[in-house]
């Protein structure tokens, strides 16, 4: 199956629950936007960038158009798309400016990907990556297994090409931090010494608590479209796709619900001889640039806190409660309709 | 084997022009201090004695984590098991030390192959970041550099074609300055401004071994291989922080941790990752191979590259790109862009994903970053990717 997707690289801003706003860079979905309308999307970057969702074996043509930074018209940085973890990549499609091309303001470049290994990945801009990642040029990638297209498994969903790795609902849990000094300096045309990086906001899917538990696409969070609440019916098997694209290590816990780790870095947790190496954990400990696929079984109806066990990260600018805190809300069987899309 | 090491002070340089006071080791009498310390390549089952002479102003000892039955010969004493030293009930050193101007010897017989560290056990919060640490590679007993090149012996699935070692490090220049000036070190104020691979900050990481301009940093960190080759990358968490190391281009299969093969009886526990979180003092052995996706001029990529003059190539004034999509080909690059691409090889970045570490005191690019280059088939000689350069023993 062929996908033609177009992302615009631009800027925007995000809002934290304490009312502060922070200047960002990021991606806006331009897919299907008429050519003479794409510049109307300047300043419309979202945190996270659009979810990139494809199936193993698909042909993905991802065109990135640099539509500029209206909040920093003096700054003519190029941008790229780096598909983090894509196996056997070639430099032309790897998005490292020093090692192939980057895209200046007003130009397009089309990346081609034919994913072969299902799992959870991430994409991000690799131009001055410390700056462009922290500024928000990041997004999640889901590569679905070919097994889902097998007629014998029609309508069912799997993490990998393994019938044992079936799930009912899936959520990406995308972890980042935000240092407001970085964002203020860049908005104010100032240098930042990256060795002074000190995040004050800890985000799941681009939001800090309590915004994490608000629904997808609330108007007040126009540029932070992704909810971070986990919703399931009792007895559902839920896939959590953890991505860490912050600059710190994180340790995530759901009070009362263990994780079965079935995937690491978009690889099924199996040994070289096919050994089943899946394992239970109460905490998913994840380094920057890693992904973890974990299955949980939704227990009895109720609300289960889901948070970073590094407790100082449960704060917004130092004030509890905030940060990387959300909840798993379990409904009685049949309470929720089948999930239509990830994080739905 | 009988080895001699001297602990002494010296200087390393960073690409932004800074000069950092270090404490390092050298295996040559009168030679400059080295950071990291000389790579020790030993063999399973073959006894080794390491004789340390201390030219530093405070006691220095050596630890060999992961080795069994290490014995020490303190000055004026007899061989005895290596053990922590106390004074007034308080720990003063994790092992018998050489006093300033004095010496100590250690001996052991490596029991198992793998990748290990050796480091100072005296005042380690200062001495290890100052540079008194290095890597130990233990060859399996059946190792043969031509006919049986494996990390863990025949039958362990660890055959490789080329081999590299990447040791991480951090530098807080204020701490180094305090040591240089004989002032006390405040650990609460510890804050690294530089991050290193094999003692160098990017882009120096990409320079070859033994370059004349880096006499105290002889170890390069550039990885070079050909398509389909098995590349053994030995990661060593050499200083005091944890680092998520991410090679672009492909996953790597982790085959051993801390010199322990990832096996449980007959079950193979090795697994592939695209980012390896290497903790302080840990070692990871990984096998990387890159086969590509078969793109050649006769099996072209499915997109058209726009005129590169309309795109950004070498914004910094240089690029490592060849100008084409294809391995072994060279294309046109915009006028004024210097290309460091030699023969159409592919360059991939290998770096810490804690991205502030990709800077030299806050300025990108730099720090804990290097390149992994895939060269056209048949273009690399057998001498590429052999440990033991860089003055290593």
- Domains defined for chain A, CATH in brackets: 2-153 (2.60.40.420), 169-331 (2.60.40.420)
Please report which residue ranges of B153-206 form alpha helices under DSSP H.
173-180
Whether residue A61 lies within 8 A of chain B, CB to CB, comes out as: yes
Whether residue A152 lies within 8 A of chain B, CB to CB, comes out as: no
- Contact between residue A224 and residue A206 where contact means Cβ atoms under 8 Å apart: yes
Among A288, A292, A293, A310, the residue to mutate for chain B (most B Cβ within 10 A): A288
B371 found inside a domain? no
Contacts of A112 in chain B (CB under 8 A): 301-303
Whether residue A247 lies within 8 A of chain B, CB to CB, comes out as: yes
The C-alpha atoms of residue B134 and residue B219 are separated, in whole angstroms, by 11
- DSSP for B298-331, please give it: TB--SSPPPPGGGSB--TTSEE---SSSSTT---
Taking an 8 Å cut-off on Cβ atoms, the answer to whether B268 and A272 are in contact is yes
The C-alpha atoms of residue B281 and residue B149 are separated, in whole angstroms, by 25
> Which of A78, A110, A290 lies closest to B312 in CB terms?
A78
pLDDT average, residue stretch A189-195: 97
Query: Is B81 exposed, middle or buried, given 0-12, 13-18 or 19+ CB atoms closer than 10 A?
Result: exposed
Among B241, B272, B319, B367, the residue to mutate for chain A (most A Cβ within 10 A): B272
The C-alpha atoms of residue A328 and residue A173 are separated, in whole angstroms, by 12
Query: Which residues constitute the domain of residue B320?
Result: 300-344
Q: What are the pLDDT digits (tens) for A289-304? A: 999 999 999 999 999 9
Ranges of chain B with pLDDT below 50: 391-393
pLDDT reported for residue B393: 40
> Which of B244, B269, B362 lies closest to A193 in CB terms?
B362
Among A75, A98, A102, A278, the residue to mutate for chain B (most B Cβ within 10 A): A98
B323 found inside a domain? yes
The C-alpha atoms of residue A39 and residue B245 are separated, in whole angstroms, by 38
Q: What are the pLDDT digits (tens) for B81-112? A: 999 999 999 999 999 999 999 999 999 999 99
The C-alpha atoms of residue A88 and residue B61 are separated, in whole angstroms, by 45
In total, the C-beta contacts within 8 angstroms joining chain A to chain B are 184
Structure tokens at B11: 């200087």
Q: Does the structure's ipTM exceed the value 0.90? A: yes
Structure tokens at A137: 């040029």
CA distance, residue A19 to nearest chain B CA (Å): 27
- Contact between residue B52 and residue B100 where contact means Cβ atoms under 8 Å apart: no
B312 found inside a domain? yes
Q: What are the pLDDT digits (tens) for A216-264? A: 999 999 999 999 999 999 999 999 999 999 999 999 999 989 999 999 9
CA distance, residue B77 to nearest chain A CA (Å): 46
pLDDT reported for residue B392: 41
B320 found inside a domain? yes
Rounded to whole angstroms, what are the CA distances from A169 to A134, A337, A340?
29, 11, 9
Contacting residues for A329 by C-beta, under 8 A, at least 6 apart: A229, A230, A231, A232, A302, A303, A304
Q: What are the pLDDT digits (tens) for B276-331? A: 999 999 999 999 999 999 999 999 999 999 999 999 998 878 999 999 999 999 99
Residue A79: pLDDT band (50, 70, 90) is: very high
Taking an 8 Å cut-off on Cβ atoms, the answer to whether B311 and A101 are in contact is yes
Three-state SS across A97-148?
CCCCCEECCCCEEEEEECCCCCEEEEEECCCCHHHHHHCCCEEEEEEECHHH
The C-alpha atoms of residue B54 and residue B58 are separated, in whole angstroms, by 8
pLDDT reported for residue B316: 79
Domains held by chain B: number: 1
Identify the three-state secondary structure at position A280: strand
Contacts of A82 in chain B (CB under 8 A): 248
B179 found inside a domain? no
B339 found inside a domain? yes
B332 found inside a domain? yes
Taking an 8 Å cut-off on Cβ atoms, the answer to whether A110 and B303 are in contact is yes
Taking an 8 Å cut-off on Cβ atoms, the answer to whether A288 and B292 are in contact is no
Contacts of A84 in chain B (CB under 8 A): 246, 274
B190 found inside a domain? no
């Amino acid at each position: 199956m062929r996908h033609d997707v177009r992302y615009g690289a631009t800027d925007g801003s995000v809002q934290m629950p304490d009312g502060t706003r922070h200047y960002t860079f990021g991606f806006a979905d331009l897919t299907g936007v008429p050519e003479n309308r794409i510049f109307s999307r300047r300043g419309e970057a979202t945190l996270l960038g659009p979810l990139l969702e494809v199936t193993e074996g698909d042909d993905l043509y991802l065109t990135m158009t640099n539509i500029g930074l209206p909040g920093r018209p003096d700054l003519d940085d190029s941008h790229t798309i780096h598909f983090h973890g894509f196996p056997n990549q070639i430099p032309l499609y790897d998005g490292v400016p020093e090692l192939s091309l980057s895209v200046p303001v007003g130009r397009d470049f089309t990346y081609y990907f034919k994913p072969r290994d299902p799992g959870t990945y991430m994409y991000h801009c690799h131009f001055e990556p410390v700056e462009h990642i922290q500024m928000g040029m990041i997004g999640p990638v889901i590569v679905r297994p070919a097994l889902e297209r097998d007629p014998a498994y029609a309508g069912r969903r799997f993490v990998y090409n393994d019938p044992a790795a079936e799930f009912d609902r899936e959520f990406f849990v995308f972890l980042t931090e935000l240092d407001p000094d970085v964002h203020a300096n860049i908005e104010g045309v100032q240098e930042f010494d990256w060795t002074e990086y000190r995040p004050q906001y800890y985000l799941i899917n681009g939001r800090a608590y309590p915004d994490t538990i608000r629904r997808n696409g609330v108007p007040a969070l126009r540029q932070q479209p992704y909810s971070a609440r986990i919703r399931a019916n009792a007895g559902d098997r839920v896939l959590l796709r953890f991505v860490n694209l912050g600059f710190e290590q994180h340790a995530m816990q759901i009070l009362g619900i263990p994780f079965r780790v079935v995937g690491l870095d978009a690889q099924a947790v199996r040994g070289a001889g096919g050994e089943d190496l899946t394992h239970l954990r109460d905490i998913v400990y994840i380094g920057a640039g890693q992904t973890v696929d974990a299955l949980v079984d939704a227990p009895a109806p109720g609300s289960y806190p889901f948070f970073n066990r590094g407790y100082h990260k449960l704060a917004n600018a130092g004030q509890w409660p905030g940060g990387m805190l959300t909840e798993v809300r379990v409904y009685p069987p049949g309470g929720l309709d089948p999930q239509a899309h990830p994080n739905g | 084997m009988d080895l001699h090491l001297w602990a002494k002070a010296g200087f390393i340089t960073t690409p932004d022009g800074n000069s950092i006071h270090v404490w390092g080791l050298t295996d040559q009498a009168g030679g400059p201090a080295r950071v990291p310390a000389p790579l020790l390549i030993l063999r399973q089952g073959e006894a080794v004695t390491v004789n340390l002479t201390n030219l530093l102003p405070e006691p220095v000892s050596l630890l060999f984590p992961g080795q069994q039955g290490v014995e020490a010969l303190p000055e004026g004493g007899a061989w005895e098991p290596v053990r922590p030293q106390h004074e007034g009930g308080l720990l003063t050193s994790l092992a018998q030390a050489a006093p300033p101007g004095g010496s100590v010897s250690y001996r052991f017989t490596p029991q198992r192959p793998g990748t290990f560290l050796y480091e100072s056990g005296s005042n380690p919060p200062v001495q290890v970041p100052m540079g008194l640490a290095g890597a130990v590679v233990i060859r399996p007993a059946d190792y043969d550099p031509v006919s049986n090149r494996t990390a863990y012996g025949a039958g362990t699935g660890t055959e490789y074609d080329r081999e590299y070692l990447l040791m991480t490090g951090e530098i807080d220049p204020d701490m180094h300055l305090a040591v240089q000036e004989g002032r006390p070190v405040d650990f609460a104020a510890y804050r690294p401004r530089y991050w290193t691979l094999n003692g160098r900050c990017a882009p120096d990481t990409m320079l070859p071994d033994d370059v004349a301009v880096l006499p105290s940093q002889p170890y390069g960190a550039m990885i070079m291989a050909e398509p389909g080759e098995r590349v053994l990358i030995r990661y060593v968490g050499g200083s005091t922080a944890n680092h998520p190391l991410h090679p672009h281009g492909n996953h790597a299969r982790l085959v051993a941790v801390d010199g322990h093969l990832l096996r449980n009886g007959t079950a193979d526990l090795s697994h592939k990752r695209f980012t390896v979180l290497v903790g302080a003092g840990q070692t990871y052995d990984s096998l990387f191979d890159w086969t590509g996706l078969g793109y050649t001029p006769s099996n072209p990529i499915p997109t058209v590259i726009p005129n590169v003059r309309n795109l950004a190539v070498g914004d910094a004034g240089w690029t490592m790109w060849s100008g084409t999509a294809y391995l072994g080909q060279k294309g046109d690059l915009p006028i004024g862009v210097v290309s460091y691409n030699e023969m159409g090889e592919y360059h991939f970045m290998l770096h810490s994903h804690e991205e502030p570490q990709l800077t030299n005191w806050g300025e990108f690019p730099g720090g804990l970053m290097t390149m992994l280059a895939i060269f056209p088939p048949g273009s690399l000689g057998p001498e590429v990717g052999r440990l033991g350069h860089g003055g290593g023993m």
